[in-house]
Amino acid sequence: METVVSGIRSTGRLHLGNYFGAVRNFVKMQHEHRCFFFIADYHSLTTHPAPSDLHAGVRQIMIEYLACGLDPEAATLYIQSDLPETAELYLFLNMNAYMGELERCTSFKEKIRSQPDNINGGLLTYPVLMAADILIHHATKVPVGKDQEQHLEMTRTFGTRFNRIYKVQYFPEPYAFNFGTELVKVPGLDGSGKMGKSEGEGNAIFLGEDPELIRKKVMRAVTDSGPVQPGQPRPEAIQNLFSLMHLVSSPDTIAHFDGQYNACTIKYGEMKKQLAEDMISFTEPFRTKIKELSSDGDYIRKVILLGAEKARSSASKTIKEVREIIGFRKF
């Protein structure tokens, strides 16, 4: 059994891409490992210093993860800002994080380009905060994608540097948790490679999406109705529709449209109508659960309190030990 930590971005809603990517795997992992999943609301301030409603955003994300099956008893589900121990570890790690390595980080360089008017210290030290999130629980596995690999490498650097400077074997080295073949690629509806990748409304189907809106979005999906050449690879937009069908439709349905495609008799309007209905059925339980949880403030409060409590029992031990290792002592 490994200790697993993962941070969840605190804005936006979950779409099918998120579900078939990380979320479904979190649900499985929570019964096999010691898992900590938290909503990264501290981190969100690096890009949104004064969010219009931080609280509502965090609450919504918590509800959607619960609706997907994250179990507050099995895993530790908490809000980053409920664990100020993380901020204290961040402070200690910052003392031994060097300007050069922070400036060289790819995500920082990207942020310099994307928000030139707000190149703040939090952005520069984003990887240090992320390292604190991970090291505070002594995690060895972090389920993240390729885009976070460099941050993970920096986490190992900060952890081993701490060990070296204070002459201890304290922090373990965390590595990416590889889902291997279980990661499915979920294309967007606007012909873009990945659901959620582009900001455009209409690219993603959210788990809590209204059925009427699902129909509208799917019917507007890009299709290429040019002549079909038997034996040729399918145009990307068409392949995308089939890929989406593979996630939500029955094998019979897929075989039916596959056959029509190969016989050059396919009508994309019909295919999309079917896809929309299958997406509506697939998302139905999520939609219902999200609604149910949204009106159960008592339960949400309980979940968040329990998460904070469980996270704290792990983190407070780390902070106490780190203070002793560095040399802070009670007078």
Q: Report the interface residues with ligand TRP, using CB under 6 A.
A: 5-7, 9, 40, 43, 130, 133-134, 142, 144, 148, 151
- How does strand 76-79 pair with strand 34-39? parallel
Q: Which of 111, 217, 272, 289 is catalytic?
A: 111
Residue nearest to ligand TRP (CB): 7
* Least Cβ distance, residue 155 to ligand TRP (angstroms): 8
**What single DSSP character describes residue 206?**
B
| Count of CA atoms in the C-beta half-sphere (13 A) of 202 | 11
Nearer to ligand TRP, 83 or 221 (CB): 83
Nearer to ligand TRP, 17 or 293 (CB): 17
Nearer to ligand TRP, 151 or 289 (CB): 151
Between the alpha carbon of residue 293 and those of residues 16, 18, 60, 210, the distances in Å are 19, 19, 10, 16
* Least Cβ distance, residue 96 to ligand TRP (angstroms): 19
Strands (E), the chain: 3-8, 34-39, 76-79, 141-142, 175-176
Nearer to ligand TRP, 22 or 280 (CB): 22
CA dihedral (128, 85, 318, 66) positive or negative = negative
Q: Which of 141, 197, 273, 330 is catalytic?
A: 197
Q: Which of 28, 146, 194, 302 is catalytic?
A: 194
CA nearest to 152, candidates 136, 140, 168: 140
- Residue 197 annotated to the active site: yes
Q: What type of residue sits at position 76?
A: T
Task: Please give the structure tokens belonging to residue 83.
Answer: 């664990």
77: phi then psi, degrees, rounded to nearest 5: -110, 115
- Residue 289 annotated to the active site: no
CA nearest to 158, candidates 177, 131, 125, 137: 131
Q: How far is residue 177's CA from residue 181's CA, in Å, rounded to a whole number?
A: 12
Q: How far is residue 107's CA from residue 100's CA, in Å, rounded to a whole number?
A: 14
Measured at the CA of 184, the angle between CA 180 and CA 187, to 5 degrees, comes to 150
* Least Cβ distance, residue 196 to ligand TRP (angstroms): 12
Nearer to ligand TRP, 149 or 236 (CB): 149
* Least Cβ distance, residue 20 to ligand TRP (angstroms): 17
Nearer to ligand TRP, 129 or 276 (CB): 129
* Least Cβ distance, residue 318 to ligand TRP (angstroms): 15
* Least Cβ distance, residue 205 to ligand TRP (angstroms): 21
**Residues taking part in catalysis:** 111, 194, 197
